Amino acid sequence: MSDQTDRTYHNFLLQALSPADRQLLSPHLERVPLVLRQSLERANEPFDFVYFPEEGLGSVVAKSQAGTVLEVGLFGRDGMSGSALLQGDDRSPFDCYAQMEGSAARIAVADFKRVLSLSPSLTLLLTRYARSLSLQTGYTALANVQSKFDERLARWLLMVHDRTERDSFAVTHEFLAVMLGVHRPGVTVALQILEGQHMIRSIRGKISITDRERLVAFTRGGYGAAEIEYQRLTGIALSRQKPVMRGLLAL
């Protein structure tokens, strides 16, 4: 824990706290860097810290016994790691690590539990966030089954765009292939499709969003439902614009 005089946070959940809840939580928070591939949760091991990203992204990753890896959850300044703690658990069967560099405010689990015990309103907000993350996972599973890969890629890019302040971000084809469960050539083809329709620009491991509205429409409803649920549950607007609800997939 560090003695911080700057209590202004860029994480949406921390921003949404009441002054009383922020006063309870802030003394236990310390700002730390997020290094690429830094572990935030280790599968089947008790959590040490809860991270509230202010910049950068966390990726929740499932791994099969055969070694197949797939991203099943994504959060940035909209969320937190360790959401299983809000559901009475102290660990997750999934790994979670930083997939983009940045920074976070973190708190030791023991302090986090103590603060939760003192504030029903803090517990309610963070429990609602945990619910929204589980719904995001459900909609991701649905998109994996019903959407073509280029549509899934468009959805993923929009989700990243929502969680960053920039229109451009660094990501490699190899990483996208692993996270989205396809072979690398499939990523290249999908990016060429999106770029050919002038929705993105991709060059040297960097992707820029150039037409967000068309990118949303391209997902054919794969994007939007999880974002609406996040706002319904937390009261925080996540999407940079009102989602296009055309052909919305439903659970």
Token pair in block for residue 107: 């708190």
- Domain shared by 132 and 161, yes or no: no
- Domain shared by 152 and 204, yes or no: yes
CA–CA separation, 190 vs 49, rounded Å? Answer: 37
Average pLDDT across the chain, whole number: 90
- Domain shared by 50 and 135, yes or no: yes
Mean per-residue pLDDT, 22-37:
96
pLDDT value for 139: 95
- Domain shared by 18 and 130, yes or no: yes
Q: Over the range 104-139, which residues count as b (16 or more CB within 10 Å of their CB) and which as e?
A: bbbbbeebbeebbeebeebeebbbbbbbbbebbbeb
Q: Which amino acid is at 184?
A: R
Residue with the two structure tokens 């692993």: 178
State the total domains in the chain: 2
Residue 248 lies in a domain: no
pLDDT value for 241: 54
pLDDT, tens digit (0-9, with 9 covering 90-100), for 48-76: 999 999 999 999 999 988 888 889 999 99
C-beta neighbour count of 230 within 10 angstroms: 25
- Domain shared by 206 and 110, yes or no: no
Q: Which helix (H) or strand (E) covers residue 202, if one does? A: strand 200-203
Secondary structure of residue 54 in the 3-state scheme? strand
Domain boundary among 124, 143, 162: 143
pLDDT value for 45: 97
Is the pLDDT reported for residue 246 higher than 80? no
- The strand order across the sheet containing 168-170 reads 168-170, 206-209, 200-203
User: Closest Cα partner for 123 from 227, 45, 25?
Assistant: 25
- Greatest mean pLDDT range, 5-9, 123-127, 145-149, 241-245: 123-127
pLDDT, tens digit (0-9, with 9 covering 90-100), for 111-143: 999 999 999 999 999 999 999 999 999 999 999
Mean per-residue pLDDT, 5-25:
89
Token pair in block for residue 95: 């790994």
pLDDT, tens digit (0-9, with 9 covering 90-100), for 80-113: 999 999 999 999 999 999 999 999 999 999 999 9
pLDDT, tens digit (0-9, with 9 covering 90-100), for 155-195: 999 999 999 888 998 888 888 887 788 888 888 999 999 99
Is the pLDDT reported for residue 17 higher than 70? yes
pLDDT value for 247: 35
Residue 178 lies in a domain: yes
pLDDT value for 7: 63
- Domain shared by 216 and 109, yes or no: no
| CATH assignment at residue 122 | 2.60.120.10
Contact 136, 73 (CB under 8 A): yes
- Beta-bridge mates of residue 214: none
Residue 57 lies in a domain: yes
Domain boundary among 127, 143, 159: 143
| CATH assignment at residue 204 | 1.10.10.10
